[in-house]
């Protein structure tokens, strides 16, 4: 089983993490710079660790030099991929506003 993932990548970020949806793709901030394929290597390593698959199971199929990329992951269902991405966000941060009052 192979699953494809559409990404909008912002290289050179402080940390590597998903930053939400970007149209039909996921926005991924990558700490590595976009030179000498370092960002692509970081993407493969990050996704392999997140999904607990070998890095050889993660392959960039389109967009090697572009910010829009398609990544193919071997051995992961689309549902498992989506759940892992959503869980990687962690708990939602506190917005500072109080919860609605129940009078």
User: Total structural domains in the chain?
Assistant: 1
- Position 38 pLDDT exceeds 80: yes
Task: Please give the residue range of the domain that contains residue 70.
Answer: 2-88
Does residue 93 lie in a domain region?
A: no
Q: What is the pLDDT of residues 7-34, one digit of tens each?
A: 999 999 999 999 999 999 999 999 999 8
Does residue 81 lie in a domain region?
A: yes
- 3 or 89: which carries more pLDDT confidence? 3
CATH code of the domain in which 8 resides: 3.30.1200.10
Distances (CA, A) of 11 to 40, 85, 102: 9, 18, 45
Does residue 61 lie in a domain region?
A: yes
d(CA 19, CA 25): 11
Does residue 66 lie in a domain region?
A: yes
Q: What is the pLDDT of residues 39-89, one digit of tens each?
A: 999 999 999 999 999 999 999 999 999 999 999 999 999 999 999 999 997
pLDDT for position 89: 76
N-term to C-term CA, the chain: 53
């Amino acid at each position: 089983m192979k699953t494809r993932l559409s990404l909008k990548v912002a290289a050179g970020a402080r940390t590597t993490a998903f930053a939400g949806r970007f149209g039909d793709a996921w926005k991924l901030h990558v700490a590595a710079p976009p030179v000498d394929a370092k960002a692509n290597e970081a993407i493969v390593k990050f996704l392999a660790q997140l999904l607990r698959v070998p890095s050889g199971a993660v392959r960039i199929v389109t967009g090697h030099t572009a910010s829009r990329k398609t990544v193919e992951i071997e051995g992961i269902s689309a549902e498992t991929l989506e759940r892992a991405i959503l869980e990687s966000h962690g708990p939602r941060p506190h917005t500072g506003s109080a919860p609605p009052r129940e009078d």
